Amino acid sequence: MAIVSLLDVITERDEAQEEMVSLLLKTITSAPVLSARDTVVWTAKENGRAAITVAGLSTPMEMSNIRYAIASLDPRPPSGIDTKPKLDATGNAMLEGKINEKGIYNFRATASVEREIPTDIPDAVRDAIHRLSGDKVSLKSEPVNFVVKVEGSNISHPALTLNIEPPSEDKWILGVPYSKTIYVGGPAPDLVTFSCSDQRFRITKDVGRIQLSWAEPMSGTTKVVVKANANRDLGSLDAADARFSIDVGPPRWQPDPRPTAYNRVNYKFESTLGGLSPSEYTIQVIANKTDVKATVSPNQFPYELKPDPSWKTLTFRAVGRTSNTLKEIEIPVKDPPPPQIKWQGESHEGNDHLITFSCEDVDGGDVNVNFNIVQPQGVKAVMSPPVRGKIFSIRIKDVTNIKQSQVELTVTALGIGGPSRTPARTVVVR
């Protein structure tokens, strides 16, 4: 069934049809591919297994109808081997048997399957392929060789173990795929089969471990049990299970971001998504709803920026690995307010009257402060520190020499947002 013969049949067809026929023919005539572990260890006089996996089957019918041929390559084949292996739902095979004598035994496996020509292709294309192959194409895999090493029956058998990657009680958030690693110890991995109590989890086998994946976690608490069987007919040594739970909920900022930003004032963002690894998401920094200014990793926190006076809003958007939005917050960007003076208290020190107050800028920084005695005239007073700071005191001196018992003064602080608007204050000095 050569490609040249097929092209001879369709010489009068257009190039698009020729290409379609060629591609379909290549797909239809692709044989299944087998793989097996190079060496499988069995114990003499005990049941053993060897897994043979297949790739390249197209339909459930092919998976159920595939046929295996397993042959010994030794001059004196061992007895006790079932050459008709058991199949799973995807067409993989499991060779089973019991060999009484220690030794090295060589085997070869092949598989054959019949593939039907698809019906959902153009009639002209299907007719062209049908002329060459009929309704079905018989396919045979390339052989795969493997060794069964049979050891003495007095050896100790390792118990199957499963160990969960901590923690055993996970907290997760909606919108992010979940995965869990379970480490497998004991017998050869090829022998071990796994099952999960929750069918939404996908199990992927790797060397010394398995990976459980949940593509779309659902809200609530899910308890999961993974069971494993080493299939050696060794009772409790062959059985193990692992348990964990996952609590899935909406994403939450920890801590909540500051609710307001001010132009020309540094804004610090250090809010993570609780329960989620920093490697699972990034933060987009967006001005005026659409202008992306930066993309930062939570590992770079705290992140600081100074909003421009043209910005009206500032958005922080958490984006997952698949570019999905996990959570976002939009905060207003306002003109910075002037500093506010907070009166702390008054006291007497000898013949002086002491007034204390605090004042800081919108960004928490120092401010420039000055004061003025409105009345009466001639009152002596000093401020400490004299110009800039956060905590201040005004000392009105020699109050017994002041004709009036009250002194009126004004205090003004200058910050990023301009001067403070503090009304005059009257204090009783004696």
Distance CA 339, CA 366 (A): 10
CA angle centred on 209, ends 203 and 211, rounded to 5°: 30
Residue 412 in contact with residue 331, Cβ under 8 Å? no
pLDDT digits (tens, 9 = 90+) for 393-422: 999 999 988 888 999 999 999 999 999 988
- Residue 304 tokens read as 């600081």
The pLDDT of residue 282 is above 70: yes
pLDDT digits (tens, 9 = 90+) for 52-110: 999 999 889 999 999 999 999 999 889 888 878 999 999 999 999 999 888 999 999 99
Distance CA 224, CA 310 (A): 52
Q: Give the chain's domains with CATH numbers.
A: 3-151 (2.60.40.10), 161-249 (2.60.40.10), 253-334 (2.60.40.1930), 342-428 (2.60.40)
pLDDT of residue 2: 44
Among the listed residues 357, 361, 429, the one whose alpha carbon sits nearest the alpha carbon of residue 393: 357
Strand partners, 211: 181, 204
pLDDT digits (tens, 9 = 90+) for 154-212: 767 789 999 999 999 998 888 888 999 999 998 877 778 999 999 999 999 988 899 99
Q: Supply φ then ψ for residue 174, to 5 degrees.
A: -60, 145
Local structure of 237: helix, strand or coil: helix
Kindly state the helix (H) or strand (E) to which residue 371 belongs, with its residue range.
Answer: strand 367-375
**291-296 and 281-287 strand pairing:** antiparallel
Residue 25 in contact with residue 6, Cβ under 8 Å? yes
Q: Which single residue is written with the structure tokens 């046929």? A: 67
Local structure of 296: helix, strand or coil: strand
Residue 377: Cβ within 10 Å count:
7
Residue 359 in contact with residue 422, Cβ under 8 Å? no
- Residue 12 tokens read as 């009068």
- Angle of helix 15-28 versus helix 123-133 axis, rounded to 10: 50
Spell out a b/e string for 154-187, using b for 16 or more CB atoms within 10 Å of the CB, else e.
eeeeeebebebeeeeebebbebbebebebebebb
Rg over alpha carbons for the chain, rounded to the nearest Å, is 40
pLDDT digits (tens, 9 = 90+) for 354-396: 999 999 999 899 999 999 999 999 899 999 998 899 999 999 9
pLDDT of residue 3: 45
